[in-house]
């Protein structure tokens, strides 16, 4: 059995998933443990709640890994937890995971965005920093944005609170003029979506058989 916790990173996940993958909303503390208890042997974590809800607990991930459950992470909360739990067997996928693993990304807020509710398809109201960086990198590589402008725009984006970070505010605060705005909107690279699709593909390829591997570490269980 396979399940993926996903929301704003890939709002149309239910239409893109394989038939054997269950889609659930972004995970909060206890959801991973609950999925393990329900018998899921392959779990994908993309999006997760935070700020007003307790986030996914590392210990519930480690519990699953300790009993042979394969747990994948990408894009957002999943990429962050995968970078933190990779040494224990969690499987990280995608560019955002690589950023956290290598230290290029260090802040939880780098993947955060303000979005609408599930009922409306999680519409994005702001731009996550990881998408800003991916977009600026792509536009710089194709010659559309010179190095100096690219650096100014990234600094501008990093200085904006994630709930207020839009392309319009990034450009306004940069002092570079509004002429760049259509280019940035048109050239937007949604790296969180790309990573989430990679996770779905990896889980589709994965065998559903329980792992027989015994980890080299031992989990000390708390009282759940």
pLDDT tens for 12-26 read: 999 999 999 999 999
pLDDT score, position 7? 97
Task: Dump pLDDT digits (tens) for 150-202.
Answer: 999 999 999 999 999 999 999 999 999 889 999 999 999 999 999 999 999 99
Task: Dump pLDDT digits (tens) for 186-196.
Answer: 999 999 999 99
Q: Whole-prediction pTM value?
A: 0.93
CA dist 144 and 136 (Å) reads 9
Task: Dump pLDDT digits (tens) for 52-72.
Answer: 889 999 999 999 999 999 999
Q: What is the mean pLDDT of residues 101-110?
A: 92
Task: Kindly report, as residue ranges, where domains of CATH 3.40.50 are found in the chain.
Answer: 2-104+192-205
On the question of pLDDT at 224 being above 60, the answer is no
pLDDT score, position 75? 97
Inter-residue contact 107 to 130 (CB < 8 Å): no
**213 alpha-carbon distance from chain centroid:** 27
Q: What is the mean pLDDT of residues 205-215?
A: 77
Task: Dump pLDDT digits (tens) for 113-143.
Answer: 999 999 999 999 999 999 999 999 999 999 9
On the question of pLDDT at 223 being above 70, the answer is no
CA dist 186 and 160 (Å) reads 21
CATH 3.40.50 fits 2-104+192-205, yes or no: yes
CA dist 60 and 44 (Å) reads 13
């Amino acid at each position: 059995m396979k399940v993926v916790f996903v929301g704003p990173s890939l709002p149309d996940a239910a239409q893109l998933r394989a038939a054997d993958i269950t889609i659930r909303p972004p995970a909060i503390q206890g959801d991973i443990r609950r999925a393990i208890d329900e018998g899921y042997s392959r779990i994908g974590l993309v999006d997760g709640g935070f700020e007003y809800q307790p986030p996914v607990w590392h210990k519930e991930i480690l519990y699953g890994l300790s009993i042979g459950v394969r747990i994948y992470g990408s894009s957002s909360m999943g990429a962050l937890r995968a970078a933190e739990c990779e040494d224990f067997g969690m499987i990280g996928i995608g560019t955002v995971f690589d950023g956290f693993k290598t230290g290029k990304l260090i802040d939880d807020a780098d993947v955060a965005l303000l979005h609408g509710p599930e009922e409306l398809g999680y519409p994005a109201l702001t731009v996550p920093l990881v998408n800003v960086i991916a977009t600026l990198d792509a536009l710089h590589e194709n010659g559309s944005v010179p190095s100096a402008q690219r650096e100014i725009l990234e600094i501008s984006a990093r200085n904006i609170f994630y709930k207020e970070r839009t392309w319009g505010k990034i450009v306004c605060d940069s002092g570079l003029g509004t002429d760049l705005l259509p280019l940035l909107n048109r050239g937007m690279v949604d790296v969180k979506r790309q990573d989430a699709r990679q996770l779905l593909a990896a889980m589709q390829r994965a065998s559903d058989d329980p792992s027989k591997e015994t980890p080299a570490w031992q989990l000390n269980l708390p009282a759940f």
